[in-house]
Chains A and B, each alone.
Chain A
Amino acid sequence: MTRKGPSGRISNEIRMMRLKHGDITQQELASRVGLTRQTIIAMEQNRYSPSLETAFRIAEAFGEPIEAVFHWRKD
């Protein structure tokens, strides 16, 4: 369920952010933002792009602006 637009793709830096912010586990991050661990795994593998609200919640969990965690690349 990657939200692929007509000419773009969303990617993320969740794995890097987890390591940067004290090696947070996938389960810990999932609990903080109200997701399951499987969804965090899918996002890290770019198999799932979250909703805008969830993207903001993940960025907030890391204390980073959303553009530092999620990127949109034009094809």
Chain B
Amino acid sequence: MTALQTRRPFFLAGLSALVVSPAPSVVQYLAGGGEDWMPSLSLLVTAAALTACAFIPPRNERGWGRGVLPGVSPHELGAAVTILAILGIYGGLTLQILQRPPSLAVTAGALIASGIAMAVVTGIGQALIVLVRGPMARDERDRDIARASRSDAHIVLVVGVWVGLVMALIDTAPALVAYALLGLFLASELVRLMSQIVRYRLG
């Protein structure tokens, strides 16, 4: 049985991702009335990577993959992938907003497009980890670390609620409140994921 036959779902998913990858740019283009748009390059690259995975032989037919970073939990790798996706996608968006504040419609389109891009990039990242490392089993250490890192992120979320409340009370522009809340939500996610990695590494 060839690799392509056993990896048919990956091949089909990859092709589908390639077809829909321009969607975030189209959404942003339409929402902004052609004013500004974000290219879907990162999506195209990850969709191409997923398609390429269809040609990787199954684990029992290849001599690599099983022993890749044996001491590193797949959950830790997943956290690293999500951190990179957040920094890459929302970092780019933040730079765009700081350099040339766009209209509210463009920003809304960009947020929807970024959400789609995040879901696709992290989904593909997790799929690649499972493909190379095998299924992501979860045991008591993973649950302990997840609970502790959620608690760390909770502090940032609490600060976010207070910042949003104060901004609303002093009549800040709704768009600015939205940016601040989104920024604090992303900061809490980054804190949760980084706390996870630190706890996996240092114990």
Residues of A within 8 A of B (CB): 1-2, 26, 34-39, 41-42, 45-48, 50-51, 54
Contact = CB atoms under 8 A, between A and B. Distances in A.
18 contacts: A1-B141, A1-B145, A1-B148, A26-B70, A36-B73, A36-B137, A36-B138, A38-B71, A39-B139, A39-B140, A39-B141, A39-B142, A42-B200, A45-B203, A46-B203, A48-B141, A50-B141, A54-B140
A51 B140 contact: yes
A47 B201 CA distance: 8
Contacts of B70: 26, 37-38, 41
B7 interface: no
Contact of A35 (B140, B199, B203): B140
B140 A50 contact: yes
A45 B71 CA distance: 10
A14 B148 CA distance: 25
Interface string B60-76: 00000000001111000
Nearest to A38: B73
Contact of B139 (A2, A34, A46, A47): A34
B144 A35 contact: no
Contacts of A46: 203
A45 B200 CA distance: 12
B202 interface: yes
B137 A47 contact: no
Contacts of A2: 203
Task: Give the secondary structure class of B's interface.
Answer: helix
Chain A interface helix/strand/loop/mixed: loop
B114 to A, nearest CB: 32
Contacts of B148: 1
A47 B73 contact: no
Nearest to B145: A1
Which of B137, B142, B145, B199 has most A Cβ within 10 Å? Answer: B137
A37 B142 CA distance: 12
A42 B142 CA distance: 11
Contacts of A37: 70
B72 A42 contact: no
Contacts of B203: 1-2, 42, 45-48
A1 B144 contact: yes
Interface in B174-203: 199-203
Nearest to A47: B203
Interface string B122-161: 0000000000000001111110110010000000000000
A35 B139 contact: yes
A38 B140 contact: no
Contacts of A34: 139
